[in-house]
């Protein structure tokens, strides 16, 4: 594709809304038809938590692009400040779901079902770290370099979240999960690696767009969009019920 065709495709509802609905809709249908408790899983104490998590965030994943696109256009406010508010809200919810999952599964590794109110509060606090760092860093850069492109704030945000995911993968997970549960540590590190990949791809795409004005950057952005909206929850669920982790989990539970 040449010219501005990738950018046009990226901005279209076909790419930005409807293509992101296919996998979550199929995943919800799968959850509705599947047994409430899988035959094998990483951590039986977290079954109910993860199933509820998957349903809630699959619905949220579908609402996100719809609310920020067609719904605002139908309401006639797509070009106003409400669009920015909606977009920022869903960005924060998307990050919140990562912290909630990691904290919830880590809590279950200590021998009890996750306590949801406490998890929500703690995940909410962690969710605010990256936006605060991004706003402060972007302001400092603007003070030194002068006015920056509007999209540059998102590049700073993406890089900050890559750093955050690395810290959680290497430091927070080992601190939160007992050493005798290497299966849970491996699972959570795999989830954080997945998150790191889509944020790193977004950052790379934005570098291509901002630094080189490459139309291909918009094509690249389609990939992390699918990873974030469509494939995150199926990945999280498939890994949770994978025999690779379930076998280790069973042996670890037997030894306790």
Residue 39 lies in a domain: no
Residue 230 lies in a domain: yes
- DSSP annotation of 18: G
Residue 165: pLDDT band (50, 70, 90) is very high
Number of domains in the chain: 1
Residue 233 lies in a domain: yes
With beta carbons less than 8 A apart as the criterion, state whether 224 and 202 touch. Answer: yes
Determine how many CB atoms are found less than 10 A away from the CB of residue 171.
10
According to the model, what pLDDT value does residue 4 have? Answer: 61
pLDDT of 87-118, one tens digit each? 999 999 999 999 999 999 999 988 777 789 99
Residue 250: pLDDT band (50, 70, 90) is very low
> 58, 60, 63: which is closest to 31 by C-alpha?
58
> What average pLDDT does range 32-55 have in this prediction?
86
Structural domain of 226: 5-32+44-255
Residue 38 lies in a domain: no
**DSSP H helical ranges for 129-215:** 129-145, 152-167, 173-176, 182-212
According to the model, what pLDDT value does residue 243 have? Answer: 79
User: What is the pTM for the complete model shown?
Assistant: 0.91
Domain of residue 60, CATH code: 1.20.1070
- DSSP annotation of 180: T
Residue 132 lies in a domain: yes
Residue 12 lies in a domain: yes
What is the rounded distance in angstroms from the CA atom of residue 41 to the CA atom of residue 174? 21
């Amino acid at each position: 594709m040449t010219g501005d065709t990738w950018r046009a495709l990226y901005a279209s509802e076909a790419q930005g809304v409807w293509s992101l609905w296919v996998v979550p809709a199929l995943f919800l249908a799968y959850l509705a038809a599947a047994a409430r408790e899988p035959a094998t899983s990483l951590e039986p104490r977290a079954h109910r938590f993860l199933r509820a998590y998957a349903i809630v965030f699959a619905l949220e994943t579908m609402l996100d692009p719809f609310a920020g696109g067609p719904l605002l256009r139908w309401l006639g406010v797509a070009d106003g400040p409400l669009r920015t508010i909606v977009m920022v809200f869903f960005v924060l919810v998307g990050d919140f779901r990562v912290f909630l999952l990691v904290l919830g599964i880590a809590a279950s590794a200590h021998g009890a079902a996750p306590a949801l109110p406490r998890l929500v509060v703690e995940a909410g606090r962690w969710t605010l770290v990256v936006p605060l760092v991004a706003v402060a860093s972007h302001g400092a850069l603007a003070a030194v370099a002068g006015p920056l492109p509007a999209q540059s704030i998102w590049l700073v945000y993406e890089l900050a979240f890559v750093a955050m995911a690395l810290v959680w993968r290497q430091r927070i997970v080992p601190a939160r999960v007992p050493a005798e549960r290497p299966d849970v540590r491996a699972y959570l590190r795999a989830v954080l690696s997945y998150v790191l990949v889509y944020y790193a791809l977004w950052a790379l795409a934005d570098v291509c767009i901002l630094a080189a004005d490459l139309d291909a950057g918009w094509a690249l952005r389609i990939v992390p969009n699918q990873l974030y909206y469509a494939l995150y929850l199926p990945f999280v669920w498939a890994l949770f019920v994978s025999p690779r982790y379930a076998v280790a989990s069973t042996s670890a539970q037997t030894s306790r």
